[in-house]
Structure 1
C-alpha cells in the first residue's frame, strides 16, 4: 500500500472512511460494515488498517481432533499470520457466536501478533487482559470475558463473518471503536481525493456551527452551502 495513503487512513476514524467511500462511489448505499456495538480494547489509539488474514475458532468445547492435529492447525494459523503481506489485520471469527466464552485475545496472543507485525485484531469473539495488552495492537471484539475456555483454531484462510460483515483474506479493512468496514478495491485510487472533499464539505457546516449562530437564517444559508459542496 502507498505509505501516504496508509498514513491518511490511519488518521481517519472508521465513520469517515464509510462516508469517503460513498463520496468516491458518488452515491449512498455502501453497506460493507459491521452491525451492532463492538468492544474496543484501546479506543484512544489510532484505527487499524490492513489486509485481512482470516481464521475461525471455537472455545465452548474441546476439539475432537488428536492433540498433534490441534497443534498443527495452530502452527498453520501462526505461520499464516507471520507470513501475511503487511500491513495486515488478524480477522478471526468465533464460531460460538453469539454465545462466545473463550478469550483468544489476551496478553499472550496480542503480543505474539504484534511481534509478527500485524496492525491489530478484529473478532466477534472475546478479549481479556485489558490493561495488559501491548500498545499499538488494538483489538475490536464482540465481548469481554475472563477465560480462554477450550479455544482452538478450526480453519485458516476461509471467509469469515464478523457482526454481519463478510470478510475474505486479502480484503482491505479499516476498524476502530465504531466497528469495521471493508474498503472496495475499486475506490482505493480515489480515497485520498474523496477524504479531502468530505472534510472540505463538513467544514462548511461545522465552522459556522462552532462559531455560534445569531439567527436561524444563518443556519439555513450554511446548510445550503453545505448541500452544494457535496454535489
Structure 2
C-alpha cells in the first residue's frame, strides 16, 4: 500500500542493518552532504532491550501527549494514523514525539506494540515513554526511547505524518533509519546504497593505525606516520565521491 516514498533494495537495507551506526556515521561524513553534528539522536535516546535489534527501516511519525486531565485529552483520528503507517514502505519504524515538557504517560505498551507489529512496524524510536517491557521484548518489537514509565496517564495522539524532532534528530515520514546499541541515525537516501562499500574502505584505512598499534614495536614517530597514512587514505576516499 506504500506509495510516493523512495526506498532501497532489501539487500542494501539488510547490509545497513548489520553495520554499526558509528561506522555508518563515519561513512556519511565522507560524502560531505550534511554537518557532522546532525543526522542522529543525541544521548537521551537509548535502546531499551539488549537482545532486540539492530533494526533498519522507514519512519512513520506521530506526536502525542499525556499530561492532561483524562476528559480534556482529545485524540487525533486513530484510523487515520494507522493508514499513515501503511502509506510508508516496509519495514517500518514508528517514530513518536511526546510533546509534554516531561513525559508522564507511555504511548507504548503491549497493546500498541502488537498493533504496530501487525501493521509492519519492527520497532519504535520514541522521545517519550515506554512500558510493558517484558511483554514487548518477548514480541521482538524494538524499543528505542528516552523514558520507561509506569502509567499511560491520559495519553492521546496529537498529529501524524509530519516532521518530528526526537532527541535532536528531525525525522520525516519515509526517512531511512538505522538503530542499534549506540542509538539512532538517519541515512540519506541519495547515498544509502554507497554506504556499505564506503564502510569497508574506511575500515581498511583505519587498519593502518590499528595494525601498527598491534605490532608490538610502537613509537611516537611511527604512530604519527601511521596516523598520517590513515588520514591521507580517508581524504582520498572523500575526493572520489
Q: TM-score higher than 0.5 here?
A: yes
Cα contact 1:102–1:147 (8 A) shared by 2:
yes
Q: Rate the CA distance shift 1:185–1:27 in 2: closer, same or farther, 3 A.
A: closer
Corresponding residue for residue 55 of structure 1: 62
Aligned residues: 226
- Structure 2 residues not aligned, in runs of 5+: 1-7, 236-241
Find 1:106's aligned residue among 94, 109, 119: 109
Q: Tell whether 2:46 aligns with 1:39.
A: yes
TM-score when normalising by structure 1: 0.86
TM-score when normalising by structure 2: 0.83
Cα deviation, 1:97-144, whole Å, max 9, x if unaligned, reads 4x0011112222223222322121111000122232235321111111
CA distance in 1, matches of 2:73, 2:109: 24
Corresponding residue for residue 152 of structure 2: 148
Cα RMSD for the two superposed structures: 2.4
Q: 126-135 vs 101-110, which deviates more?
A: 126-135
Corresponding residue for residue 230 of structure 1: 234
- Structure 1 residues not aligned, in runs of 5+: none
CA distance in 2, matches of 1:120, 1:207: 38
Q: 133-142 vs 119-128, which deviates more?
A: 133-142
1:132-211 matches, within 5 Å, as: 132-133=135-136, 134-210=138-214
CA distance in 2, matches of 1:177, 1:138: 11
Find 2:123's aligned residue among 120, 123, 147: 120
CA distance in 2, matches of 1:77, 1:122: 16
CA distance in 2, matches of 1:161, 1:28: 17
CA distance in 2, matches of 1:78, 1:161: 20
CA distance in 2, matches of 1:96, 1:225: 50
Q: Tell whether 2:98 aligns with 1:94.
A: yes
How far is the alpha carbon of 1:22 from its aligned partner? 0.9
Q: Tell whether 2:204 aligns with 1:215.
A: no
